[in-house]
């Protein structure tokens, strides 16, 4: 099943997350941590105070579940660790299935890694994920091995990757607790931190400049949300990893 992202489920997260969100990670501040949380109907979630690691609230935080396009957080991390934003990769050939997320990149185009990461994190482009994987590791299979090795290094005990996109194939799963850890590692990188908080970005490499839009409607509509990543597949349901800006002291 294709890994897709839509704005509709993210709006649902503000209204008790509905029943379809299966992993909710909110990275809050000390003041927010003491605020009353709204009702959350997600099957699995965790609310973490990142500077102390304190768990403010949780439900089945170690439960292993499919994670859809939040998989791309690890794809982004490995890409920034093994390539520079100025490096150039050739867009890989990838056959998009109906409904898959895309930035409209064409096979053979030369794109800077920085632009590929923006395409990966904002519109959640699957062809960008494949291109980064092949550009970094030479093949998707080798990149997946790197993903799982990095997960072990980070202590993500309930995480296993089967592909760099988040497709519902193979053993591709994680937990709310592991996603929270991964999000904090991701946001320690200045480039990725700035990227995931963009409402839109212009891609300047490739033959034609493109504007890509962040599908996370919380980033689009709420000033204190700074990312991180959304995801959706039929098997995973709707998945949200979010951070709250430290300048704001309340939820919702």
Catalytic residue numbers read: 69, 72, 124
Q: What phi and psi values does residue 238 have, to the nearest 5 degrees?
A: -95, 130
Work out whether strand 88-90 and strand 54-59 pair parallel, antiparallel, or are unpaired: unpaired
Report d(CA 208, CA 225) in Å as an integer: 31
Q: Give dist(CA 209, CA 74) in Å, integer.
A: 26
Q: Burial code of 169-208, b = ≥16 C-beta within 10 A, e = fewer?
A: eeebbbbbbbbbbbbbebbeeeebeebbbeeebebebbee
Helix, strand, coil percentages (3-state) for the chain, rounded to 5, are: 35, 20, 45
Q: Is 232 helix (H, G, I), strand (E, B) or coil?
A: strand
Helix axis angle for 72-82 and 140-153, nearest 10°, is: 90
């Amino acid at each position: 099943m294709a890994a897709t992202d839509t704005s509709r489920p993210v709006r649902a997260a503000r209204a008790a997350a509905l029943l379809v969100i299966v992993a909710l990670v909110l990275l809050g501040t000390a003041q927010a941590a003491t605020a009353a949380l709204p009702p959350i109907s997600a099957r699995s979630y965790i609310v973490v105070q990142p500077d102390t690691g304190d768990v403010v609230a949780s439900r089945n935080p170690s439960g292993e579940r499919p994670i859809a396009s939040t998989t791309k957080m690890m794809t982004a991390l490995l890409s920034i660790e093994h390539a520079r934003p100025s490096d150039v990769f050739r867009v890989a050939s990838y056959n998009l299935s109906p409904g898959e997320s895309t930035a409209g990149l064409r096979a053979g185009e030369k794109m800077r890694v920085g632009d590929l990461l923006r395409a990966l994190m904002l519109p959640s482009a699957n062809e960008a994920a494949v291109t980064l994987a092949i550009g970094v590791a030479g093949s998707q299979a080798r990149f997946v091995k790197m993903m799982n090795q990095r997960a072990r290094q980070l202590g993500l005990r309930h995480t296993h990757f089967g592909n760099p996109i988040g497709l519902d194939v193979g053993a591709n799963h994680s937990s709310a607790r592991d996603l929270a850890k991964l999000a904090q590692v991701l946001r320690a990188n200045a480039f990725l931190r700035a990227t995931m908080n963009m409402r839109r970005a212009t891609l300047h490499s490739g033959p034609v400049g493109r504007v890509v839009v962040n599908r996370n409607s919380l980033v689009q509509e709420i000033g204190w949300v700074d990312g991180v990543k959304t995801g959706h597949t039929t098997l995973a349901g709707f998945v949200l990893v979010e951070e709250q800006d430290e300048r704001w002291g309340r939820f919702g």
